[in-house]
Amino acid sequence: MDRLSSTLSALADPTRRAIIARLAAGEATVNELAAPFDMSLPAVSKHLKVLERAGLISRGRNAQWRPCRLEAAPLKEIADWVERYRQFWEGSFDRLDSYLHELQHNGKSGHD
């Protein structure tokens, strides 16, 4: 699987997106990451392994503490990929805006 597909697949799960959001605020332990979820530590660890395989997180080693940290490079790749389609959407919204203004103008002139 290519890196973009791996990243998107990892982010398809809401639990993993929540973990990424938490790590955006700074490093955290597995216990800290598991706290908001009603699931076992092994279940959270499975989510972390998926994120780690996708390159979205890394785990350090500081004595017994293994902090997880966000790795932002794959997120930038998604942002760059989505950016290619921004112009399409902006053009679509501009055309819609023009059409709505035209409808408004035609509606007002019809009532005068």
pLDDT tens-digit series, residues 55-78: 999 998 776 778 999 999 999 999
Token digits of residue 58: 């890394």
Torsion sign across C-alpha atoms 18, 19, 24, 30: positive
Query: Does residue 112 carry a pLDDT above 70?
Result: no
What b/e sequence results for 54-83 when a residue is b if at least 16 CB atoms lie within 10 Å of its CB, and e otherwise?
bbbbeeeeeeeeebbebbeebbeeeeeeee
Query: Does residue 32 carry a pLDDT above 80?
Result: yes
Mean per-residue pLDDT of the chain? 90
CA distances from 61 to 2, 25, 71, 99, 107 (A): 28, 19, 16, 58, 67
